[in-house]
Chains A and B, each alone.
Chain A
């Protein structure tokens, strides 16, 4: 077996799969028949040079872009996302590079933003009253489970550091994702120490059983976290490697076409 794709645990269940996906914009081919495979319980890093098709691939997986041709399967079932909301309803959550939080709202409110819980009984059904206490308790429980250090849950998010704020966005995704979490450069806006906090959080999410797709430019981070590395080149998957079998130099060489896996 070549040391490229499909190395270890070929038996692990495939959660999200793309088969021969093509995306063209007029004459420009962004994705040229790419395959993609995310397995249960893993952190899969997606790396590639600028213009290699990383972000287009991710956008097709999150429903932000519709592929020209090809298939996307979630838990083995073909899916056709018409927009990001469809992907979310299917259990796929995405975290973006810029901090997608409402700074003046508190941590609990941010965790439940867009998915607020309503109070039980008539207060909730008739008077549409929010279950603030329930949301705070649930938020506290979730953050404890993820072992993420935060000040009190009713502090506004603007009182947090950048890393903690992104931690809130990441935790929100983990809290609501039923199938997988996609993270698009989640630490690009953060300093070294803050990046460390978020990486630790991503690890705890994986350890709780949610598979994670991590798009990153930062090779040390990728090698620190990823179970497998999906390398994009010229709109296709050039190789899938693991940090155990390949070095950073190998990966960069595959990215740039200087070597093949």
Chain B
């Protein structure tokens, strides 16, 4: 064997190749396509205040989709995203309305959401139940329990701290809410965890090949548990963002959170089979969902049609994932 050819030197990939070869290229193109269509059909779509509204409307789903991404990367799925987030808004709202310190109320709410994640993760990793069933069960339990606690009705949350994430600040000519800022900070921090730390690498390894992960000594169960706990924490923070959007605790809210968050993740290029994808795609996916709902609303289309179109989108995205999987 000629030792000189044993190890080929690597040429650094060009920027163009990196962008085209990036798994986010497709989703970015879809986002761009929708923007062009809506901009052409409605001149108001591109107005700065509308773009700022799209961001604000994306905040809650965007944050929930971060947790959903983590769970899906481990080859799981979380059907309790919306329910856990609503749990957070109701706990925080109830406590604050009862006169407890608002910071404490929100803290307890976030903690309870984290505990819900812990429960889901415990059942998935400890009893090895399918994530689909565990989170479906939690969805059912929470939906019923929340209606019981709040006696069926929604109630307003007037505390300024709980609604703080809806306050605005100016960035250039652009109006941003603190909630938007918090969402981006969440994306950046969890992106760092996923891409720059051992923890994140092990999330991918578990989703890719659980057996291999176990064989190289990764504590798979503990790691899975940590994923669900972090997801729960993020859903809790999303509850704060939700109260900033609409200062109202409503047990019947977020009915489409499962559909929207899963759509965001899958359109963003993360595989439902686990181990592939990431948060850059999810952020783009969440923006696609946000742009779509906003654009259709501007066009005066009934929200039911929005769900219908989102449903079609998620199926197309999963079909593409399945096809690319067969080619591997």
Contacts and interface: CB of A to CB of B under 8 A. Distances in A.
A102 interface: yes
Given A114-B217, A116-B201, A102 B3 contact: no
B211 interface: yes
Contact of A113 (B10, B196, B216): B216
Interface residues of A, number: 35
A102 B197 contact: no
Interface residues of B, number: 28
B326 interface: no
B33 to A, nearest CB: 27
Contacts of B198: 116, 118, 128, 130
B218 A154 contact: no
A154 B197 contact: no
A44 to B, nearest CB: 22
A49 interface: no
Grouping DSSP codes into helix (H, G, I), strand (E, B) and loop, the A interface class, with mixed when no group exceeds half, is loop
Contacts of B196: 127-130
B235 interface: no
A182 B49 CA distance: 65
Interface string B266-295: 000000000110000000000000000000
B297 interface: no
Best-surrounded residue of A105, A143, A144 (most CB of chain B within 10 A): A105
Interface stretch (B117-125, B151-159, B202-210): B202-210
B212 interface: yes
Contacts of B5: 149
A113 B203 CA distance: 11
Interface in B125-174: none
A147 B1 contact: yes
Contacts of A153: 10
B99 interface: no
B217 A102 contact: no
A115 B199 CA distance: 11
A78 interface: no
A158 B8 CA distance: 19
Contacts of B308: none
A230 to B, nearest CB: 24
Interface in B1-60: 1, 3, 5-8, 10
Interface string A236-253: 000000000000000000
A100 B199 contact: no
A87 to B, nearest CB: 11
Interface in B214-255: 215-218
B141 to A, nearest CB: 34
B6 A149 contact: yes
Contacts of B1: 147
A152 interface: yes
Contacts of B205: 102, 105, 113-114
Contacts of B10: 152-154
Contacts of B7: 140, 143-144, 149-150
A81 B237 CA distance: 44
5 contacts: A104-B208, A113-B212, A114-B218, A118-B198, A152-B8
Interface of B: 1, 3, 5-8, 10, 192, 196-199, 201-202, 204-205, 208-209, 211-213, 215-218, 275-276, 328
Interface of A: 84-85, 88, 96, 98-105, 109, 113-116, 118, 127-130, 140, 143-144, 147-154, 158, 172
Given A103-B209, A104-B276, 18 more contacts: A84-B217, A99-B212, A100-B212, A102-B205, A102-B212, A103-B208, A109-B201, A113-B205, A114-B216, A128-B199, A129-B196, A129-B197, A140-B7, A144-B6, A144-B7, A147-B1, A147-B3, A152-B8
9 closest cross-chain pairs (CB), A and B: A114-B216, A102-B208, A100-B212, A152-B10, A102-B205, A114-B217, A116-B198, A144-B7, A113-B216
